[in-house]
């Protein structure tokens, strides 16, 4: 048992810690990049709410509401309520960063409207992924305690859904940003220099999703190595 304890910590140090450091770097990068370009005001004085509304209306999504919520970078699209919620630092702010973030969320609304396939998959598995994230470790631990390998296997499969969800999230987020930048360019909502700033903000945000996938894979690999070794030793 002591050997497995040491082995678990070894894999944690060489796999999970570097991944978590990358995730921390990504969070710091997106915050610093957003702060930088949130001080750069666009020449046409579009606020985040203005940009989102213009994109929604241009795509026939007049029924989707835009609401203001508290916080910083808490922006999201809620398809169940048909509402885009924009944070205090985006909603009424006419900065390059605010317009970029708002356009990204409007991009998600367009994805749902046109039936973008990856977002359909992500929506379909979000429920079971949430269940899996809660039950995976208890099942793995129970399987070890009672020496019942099928429980361990089921736990690992459920835990792997977290990595699958993060993997599917990547094309969803990249595509939303791509849609946003194309619309901002084609409508001349932002000029070339401003568009470059918005792209920097969205690229920094994309790094957080890449980091989240790496963290999920690192944790899954750690568990597989630990319990795979355990089975080999029997």
Report, as residue numbers or ranges, the catalytic residues: 105
Chain CA centroid to CA 58, Å:
26
Sign of the alpha-carbon torsion through 208, 214, 220, 223: negative
How far is residue 69 from each of residues 54, 85, 91, 179, 187, measured CA to CA in Å? 19, 6, 8, 24, 27
Distance from C-alpha of 71 to C-alpha of 189, rounded to nearest angstrom: 25
Our CA dihedral for 197, 202, 203, 205, rounded to 10 degrees, sits at 130
**Bridge partners for 65 per DSSP:** 83
Tokens of residue 178, six digits: 């791509």
């Amino acid at each position: 048992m002591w050997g497995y304890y040491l082995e678990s910590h070894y894999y944690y140090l060489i796999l999970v810690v570097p991944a978590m450091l990358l995730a921390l770097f990504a969070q710091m990068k997106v915050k610093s990049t957003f702060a930088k370009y949130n001080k750069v005001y666009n020449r046409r004085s579009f606020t985040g709410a203005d940009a989102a509304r213009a994109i929604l209306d241009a795509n026939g999504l007049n029924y989707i509401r835009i609401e203001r919520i508290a916080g910083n970078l808490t922006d999201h699209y809620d398809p169940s309520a048909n509402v885009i919620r924009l944070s205090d630092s985006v909603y009424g702010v006419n900065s390059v960063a605010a317009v970029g973030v708002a356009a990204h969320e409007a991009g998600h609304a367009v994805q749902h409207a046109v039936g973008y396939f990856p977002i359909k998959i992500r929506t379909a598995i979000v429920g079971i992924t949430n269940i899996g994230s809660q039950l995976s470790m208890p099942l793995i631990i129970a399987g070890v305690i009672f020496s019942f390998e099928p429980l361990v296997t089921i736990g690992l499969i459920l835990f792997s859904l977290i990595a699958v969800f993060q993997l599917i999230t990547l094309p969803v987020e990249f595509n939303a940003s791509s849609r946003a930048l194309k619309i901002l360019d084609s409508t001349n909502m932002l000029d070339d220099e401003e568009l470059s700033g918005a792209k920097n903000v969205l690229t920094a945000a994309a790094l957080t999703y890449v980091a989240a996938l790496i963290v999920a894979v690192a944790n899954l690999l750690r568990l597989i190595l630990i319990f795979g070794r355990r089975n080999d030793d029997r």
